[in-house]
Amino acid sequence: GQQLNQSPQSMFIQEGEDVSMNCTSSSIFNTWLWYKQDPGEGPVLLIALYKAGELTSNGRLTAQFGTTRKDSFLNISASIPSDVGIYFCAGQNTGNNRKLIWGLGTSLAVNP
Amino acid sequence: KAGVTQTPRYLIKTRGQQVTLSCSPISGHRSVSWYQQTPGQGLQFLFEYFSETQRNKGNFPGRFSGRQFSNSRSEMNVSTLELGDSALYLCASSLEEGAFNSPLHFGNGTRLTVT
């Protein structure tokens, strides 16, 4: 099925560093969502974006809805060990029965 | 408020068998979606149920089916299991159908292993 291009696929960083990841699509989306999945658990919603250009923060996390409506970015500042996990982006294309389209995830490892 | 509950957490089945997975959504949520998650394919949408009706369906064969009850609880069934059906099956609930302005909340999944 259709998928988003999410990059990077994996990251290994030092504690305290900032992290950036992004998702791009060939389609326009009306909604962008960012989720985090810890091992053995289901994805947990981090940030939801509903408007082009929107910039939203959740603690050390900041996400932006790209102005072209075809991309989104997630930044994590001052990473800590519990940031380890897989981060997924998801976009909603209202022209596709409103199904969510998912990226393949960015696996983040943090070295204490 | 209790989260999305999926049972069982783990299942081991053999090829050809069938399996039923259960999902209890967050109280008040009327939409339930099911996803298959595998390392190479990410989250693949199976189907969505709202008010006991299937509202959306992914590109999976007819061996995969589901239903929703009047209390919004949902089950999915996979018949004639194949090795490739081994995956983490995730259930997610939302207030309204389509997840627009009503993000999905996921359970911890059922890990199905087919041998």
Cis peptide before B8 (omega within 30 of 0): yes
What CA–CA distances, in Å, run from B61 to A3, B65, B84?
A: 19, 9, 12
> Per the CB < 8 Å rule, is A40 touching B108?
yes
Show Cβ contacts of residue A108 under 8 Å, excluding neighbours closer than 6 positions. A10, A11, A13, A19, A76, A79, A83, A84, A85, A86, A87
Q: Which residues of B touch A50 (CB under 8 A)?
A: 101
Q: Residue A96 pLDDT more than 60? A: no
Q: Residue B42 pLDDT more than 90? A: no
Q: Residue A92 pLDDT more than 90? A: no
Specify whether the CB–CB gap between A76 and A61 falls below 8 A: yes
Q: How far apart are the first and last CA of chain A?
A: 38
If one compares A97 and A105, the residue with the highest pLDDT of the two is A105
Q: Residue B25 pLDDT more than 90? A: yes
Span B66-86, average pLDDT: 97
Q: Which residues of B touch A102 (CB under 8 A)?
A: 42-43
User: A38-76: per-residue pLDDT in tens?
Assistant: 988 999 999 999 999 999 999 999 999 999 999 999 999
Specify the pLDDT at position A99. Answer: 75
Specify the pLDDT at position A45. Answer: 93
Span B38-56, average pLDDT: 90
Smallest Cβ distance to B45: which of A44, A100, A104? A100
Residues in B 63-102 with any Cβ partner in A closer than 8 A: 90, 92, 97-101
If one compares A94 and B96, the residue with the highest pLDDT of the two is B96
Q: CA-based Rg of chain A, rounded to a whole angstrom?
A: 13
Specify the pLDDT at position B32. Answer: 95
If one compares B39 and A37, the residue with the highest pLDDT of the two is A37
Q: Residue B96 pLDDT more than 60? A: yes
Per CB distance under 8 Å, which residues of A are interface residues toward B? 1, 3, 30-31, 33, 35, 40-45, 48, 50, 88, 90, 92, 94, 97-100, 102-105
Q: What distance in Å separates residue B35's CA from the closest CA in chain A?
A: 11
Share of residues in chain A with pLDDT > 70 (%): 93
What CA–CA distances, in Å, run from B66 to A2, A6, B12, B29, B94?
A: 22, 30, 20, 17, 17
What CA–CA distances, in Å, run from A15 to A18, A56, B103?
A: 9, 23, 30
Smallest Cβ distance to B99: which of A44, A100, A103? A100
Q: Is residue A104 left, alpha or beta, with left meaning phi > 0 and alpha meaning psi from -120 to 50?
A: alpha
Least confident range of A107-111, B1-5, B35-39, B46-50: B1-5
Span B60-85, average pLDDT: 97
Q: Residue B20 pLDDT more than 80? A: yes
> Per the CB < 8 Å rule, is B42 touching A48?
no
Residues in B 47-66 with any Cβ partner in A closer than 8 A: 56, 58-59
**Half-sphere exposure of residue A32: CA atoms within 13 angstroms, side-chain side:** 33
Specify the pLDDT at position B99. Answer: 59
Smallest CA–CA distance from A90 into chain B, residue: B43
